[in-house]
Amino acid sequence: MFSTEPNISGNWYTQKEGETNLNFINTGSSVNIDPGALLSSTGNYDVIFEVVNPDVPGCVIKKSKRITYSPLPDFEILDPIGSSGCNVADGTLRVRALTAIDYIFVEETIFYTFTGSRRNL
């Protein structure tokens, strides 16, 4: 979400790095960039806010912010090996990144046993 401070209405555009054409999004004081709908492909973009100064004819004020639209991370699981028994945490899971991935975070699974004690996997 991009917005102006103070609340000023103007035109919002995107421009892909290396291209000359501006793609109009809407007019207002804020804009939400939906990459799937508004950006043509992955890469660097400028989100541009443009307003005409009503006090000075022909004076256009333009501000921009650079963003990077990256593909969704994609991966595959290779040859999972199950644990040797119930509640035994000795299985393995290998993951191969199919796109650039900075890191993989696997949340710990928390479950409760019949006695009500808490265990972390």
For 25-61, how does the pLDDT look when each residue is reduced to its tens digit (9 = 90+)? 999 999 998 887 778 888 899 999 999 887 888 899 9
Residue type, position 51, single letter: V
Q: How confident is the model at residue 108 (pLDDT cuts 50, 70, 90)?
A: low
CB 27 within 8 A of CB 12: yes
- Distance, in Å, from the CA atom of 66 to the CA atom of 3, rounded to the nearest integer, reads 14
Query: Tens digits of per-residue pLDDT, 59-101?
Result: 999 999 999 988 778 888 888 888 888 888 788 878 888 887 7
Q: Does the pTM of the predicted model rise above 0.85? A: no
Q: Is the dihedral of CA 42, 5, 64, 54 positive or negative?
A: positive
CB 39 within 8 A of CB 14: yes
- Distance, in Å, from the CA atom of 84 to the CA atom of 77, rounded to the nearest integer, reads 19
Please list, in sequence order, all residues whose beta carbon lies within 8 angstroms of the beta carbon of residue 81, skipping any fewer than 6 positions away. 91, 92, 93
- Which of 36, 33, 38 has the alpha carbon at shortest distance from 2? 33
Any idea of the CA torsion for 88, 102, 36, 10, to the nearest 10 degrees? 130
